[in-house]
Structure formats: structure tokens, C-alpha cells
Amino acid sequence: MTRPGAETADLLRRVREAEMVPAHIAIIMDGNGRWARERGLPRWKGHREGMKAVRRSVEGALEAGISHLTLYAFSRENWGRPAAEVRALMALLVEYVEREGQELLSNGVRVTVFGDRDRLSADARQSVEVLERTTAPGTALQLNLAISYGARDEILGAVRSLAGQASRGEIDPEAIDAPMFESQLQTSGIPDPDLLIRTSGEMRISNFLLWQIAYSELYVTPVLWPDFGKSDLYNAILEYRRRERRFGRVEA
């Protein structure tokens, strides 16, 4: 792991002293293309630089004691981008696994991937399967990668599954409740995010974890994803600490 500078180290100290630290942080990683455009570079170079921010965020989550980190790596809508950019993204996914797999394993990071992986290129699909299998023993941090993921499709899939079970007489429709519905989601077994971070300043959810973020605290930063560092992560956690989470309730 990289050694933090003095300011970042002070932020980390304050995070570690905090009484309330989010157990699960989800991040919409936005701004790779804008970062590249501002520098006159092709978009794929922005995506490559974004890989470094992924590494910093994983290290920061480990240092802060976060138990779950979910990254929105590739959305269902991203398949509509130019074919050359999609191919570059698939290649970068393979490269990420090759470069970071051993480091993740060494640091006790367990990786899980959810989304429509059938649409991934063969080598990208094989890479994520290997990464999940080799990091399975990790207990320090669960890193969830949303790849080829869309929340509306996820919700529709859960509805279809429950409808099919009901039509076959396997369940009573009246018995369907939130836990049963959640068991059909791709994130089944993963706690809902406490904190959702979006980079690049955009005020959108972008079809990400629509069910799961019902009561997540939202934090939007203007920092573009390739520039996102540990200090940005720690500042988001400290802001989360200042929030009052009421879940629709008020004190008497």
C-alpha cells in the first residue's frame, strides 16, 4: 500500500476516531471521459487512469475499516458507447485483474461481481471468474464490482422470478415481503450501502442500486474519478459522520 501524505494521514486518523463509520460504501465512478478530454487525450486513457483511483479507493477502504465497497464499473447503458471504447474497457478489465489480483488477495480483499456477465467478452468473463475464485478467502474487505449492471433490469428480474414461483404454486403472493424480494436481487447477501458517493459533480443516480440505496446517505463531489484519492474518500466518510440518519423517524 502507498503511504499517505500528512494531510491524508490526519484525515485517516480522524476517520478511525469516528464513532460512526459506514460499513458499506458504494461509488458511482464518473468523469473518466471528461478527465481525458480536458487533457486532449483519448477517452480510454481516462479509463486507464481511473484504474489507479480504484486502487486508491480499495486501499483507503481497508485503512478506514470499511467492510464493503461497491464500485459501479460498467453499466448496461455503457454498451451503447462506441465499439472501440467498449473493447478498450473490456481489455482494461482484464488488465486490472492481472495487475491487481495478487495484491487484492494479499490484502484480504474478497471480490464479487454482479451484473449481466454473459455480455462480457470471453476473456473479461474468464478474468472476473478467476478473480472471484482466487480472492474468495478474503475477510478484510468485500469489493463488489457492478459490471454490465442496471438496477431496473435487476428489479425486473427479481419480479419475474417471484412471479414464476407464485405461478407454480411455490410461494403465496401475499407472503412476498422485502426480505423475500431482496433474496432475488443480484446483491442478495450484501448489506445496503450506508453511503453513496458520486464523483464529477453530476446529480444523478444513473440506474445504480435503486432498491438498495433507499436510505443511503448521498455525497457528491466535483472531483473527477481519475483524480479521486484517499483524502476524498476520507472526507466523504467524515461528512457521513456528521449526518443524522433517521430512516424516516424522528425523536420524540
**pLDDT for the residue numbered 5:** 83
Per-residue confidence band for 2, with pLDDT thresholds at 50, 70 and 90: low
Per-residue confidence band for 251, with pLDDT thresholds at 50, 70 and 90: low
Q: Say whether 30 is catalytic.
A: yes
**pLDDT for the residue numbered 243:** 86
Whole-model pTM?
0.93
The catalytically annotated residue of 10, 32, 78, 207 is 78
Question: Average pLDDT of the chain?
Answer: 94
The catalytically annotated residue of 10, 30, 227, 235 is 30
**pLDDT for the residue numbered 212:** 98
Q: pLDDT exceeding 90 applies to what percent of the chain?
A: 92
Does residue 247 have a pLDDT over 90?
no
Q: Could you state, in order of their start, the residue ranges of all structural domains in the chain? A: 24-155+195-242
Does residue 26 have a pLDDT over 60?
yes
**pLDDT for the residue numbered 249:** 61
**DSSP codes, the chain:** -PPP-HHHHHHHHHHHH-S---SEEEEE---HHHHHHHTT--HHHHHHHHHHHHHHHHHHHHHHT-SEEEEEEEEGGGGGS-HHHHHHHHHHHHHHHHHHHHHHHHTTEEEEEES-GGGS-HHHHHHHHHHHHHHTT--SEEEEEEEEE-HHHHHHHHHHHHHHHHHTTSS-GGG--HHHHHTTSTTTTSPPPSEEEE-TT-----SSSTTTTTTPEEEE--S-GGG--HHHHHHHHHHHHHS---TT----
Question: Hey, what CATH class is 24-155+195-242 in?
Answer: alpha beta
